[in-house]
Structures are given as structure tokens and as C-alpha cells.
Amino acid sequence: MAIFRITTKLPSNVNGVHIEKGMSVEIVSSSADPFTNPKTKDDLTKAFMAKYGIDLKKANVLGNRSLFTVEKIN
């Protein structure tokens, strides 16, 4: 299991969801790339909702990995 820090690269306003540049959360994943695992994407959505109150699924941005920086912490 690895810990990843996921950070937004650009500000955007999609489907009424406002995302600021630099928003970041940390999640645990068994995948080498968190964006390839559906469960990890769900965990990422929950983490952003808990920390910032924004719904990445509603914003429909989870399919666009280029909007995020992925940093493996350990």
C-alpha cells in the first residue's frame, strides 16, 4: 500500500463545482497509479468532499488525470 498526495493543477469551474489550483488530499492505494483503480477514485472523491466540500464526480474531472499532480509519498 502506498500513500499518494493528489493536487489540483489548474483552477476550474465545471458543472457548478469550483476547484482551486493547489487543493490537495492524501489517499492510500494499492495501485501504482490511483487514477486506474475505481475504488481509489471513489476514495479520492470522498477525500475531496470531506476536506473541501467539492464533488469531483459531479465536476466530471476524474477521467482527466492531467488536471492533477500525483506524488507518491511512501
CB atoms within 10 A of CB 56: 24
Sketch the domain layout of the chain as residue ranges. 2-72
Is the per-residue pLDDT at 1 higher than 90? no
The pLDDT tens digits of the residues spanning 19-67 come to: 999 999 999 998 888 888 899 999 999 999 999 999 999 999 988 888 9
- What's the predicted TM-score (pTM) here? 0.89
What value does the mean pLDDT of the chain take? 92
pLDDT > 70: percent of the chain: 100
